[in-house]
Structure 1
Amino acid sequence: MRIVVSTSSRTPIYEQIKTQVRASILSGEIAEGQFLPSLRQLAADLRVSSITVTRAYNDLEADGLIHGEHGRGFVVLPIDAQVASSALRTHVDDVLRELVAAARRARLSPPQVHDRLDEMWSHDE
């Protein structure tokens, strides 16, 4: 699991962590029964406060995606495939709305956006 946080983003760091871990769980990158990195380890890796990671993990637990096991850490719970697929599509829609808004501010036409998307898609393979 790779998590990237931006201190210059308007989105709080705990929310950035939560969103990225959620996407990793829903996509199956982190499997059911797998333990997440410890709070301290992830905080050290990301160079953030353990309180920040704790808040992200607690939110994920409240959402029913993970469960804290005393002395062992946080484990990924079973996720219904349809629920996961729907959540991922919703996330894509949200990101696309942001993309459209950014493209309009940059005065890019839909064909220009499509070209950029095609270019990025091919580089990501």
Structure 2
Amino acid sequence: MHIFISNSSGVPIYEQIVNQIKNHIISGGLSEGEALPSMRLLAKELRISVITTKRAYEELENEGFIVSLVGKGSFVASKNMDFIREENLRRMEEHLQNAVDLSKASQLGLESLIDLIKILYNGE
């Protein structure tokens, strides 16, 4: 599992970690039951504070992506397909909202935007 931290992105470091681990889980890059690096090891590898990795892991656990067992570590939680579907829908809505905003700013009509989405969806 590779996590890349950008100090210039404007996104808090813990949030970058959360988003990247979520993406690894949703895409299947991390499997159910797979161990995550310890908070200390991840902090050392990324050269960040253990407090930051702790916050990221707590966020992931609160959202149901990982489970933490005292003395054993943190592991990828069993996949709740409804939850993953909702997460994907939320992400799609965010991207589509950006597309709608750009479309309006470019004075591209709804039909043209729909045609563009159809082309992209069908891989034409």
**TM-score over 0.5 for the pair:** yes
Q: Secondary structure at the match of 1:59?
A: helix
Correspondence 1:75 to 2:71: no
Structure 1 residue ranges without an equivalent (≥5): 119-125
**1:23–1:88 CA contact under 8 A, matched in 2:** no
Instruction: Supply the RMSD in Å over aligned alpha carbons.
Output: 2.6
- Give 2:47's aligned residue: 47
How many equivalent residue pairs? 112
Q: Secondary structure at the match of 1:41?
A: helix
Point out the structure with max Rg over C-alpha.
2
- Give 1:15's aligned residue: 15
List structure 1 segments (4+ residues) > 3 angstroms apart after TM superposition. 95-101
Q: Secondary structure at the match of 2:67?
A: strand
| Cα distance in 2 for residues equivalent to 1:100 and 1:9 | 23
Percent identity between matched residues is 37
Letter in 2 for 1:79: K
- Give 2:30's aligned residue: 30
TM-score (norm 2): 0.72
| Cα distance in 2 for residues equivalent to 1:57 and 1:9 | 20
Q: Secondary structure at the match of 2:75?
A: strand
- Give 1:88's aligned residue: 88
- Give 2:3's aligned residue: 3
Q: CA deviation at 1:93?
A: 3.7
Letter in 2 for 1:41: L
**1:27–1:84 CA contact under 8 A, matched in 2:** no
- Give 1:62's aligned residue: 62
Q: CA deviation at 1:96?
A: 5.2
TM-score (norm 1): 0.72
| Cα distance in 1 for residues equivalent to 2:54 and 2:74 | 10
Q: Secondary structure at the match of 1:15?
A: helix
Q: CA deviation at 1:82?
A: 3.4
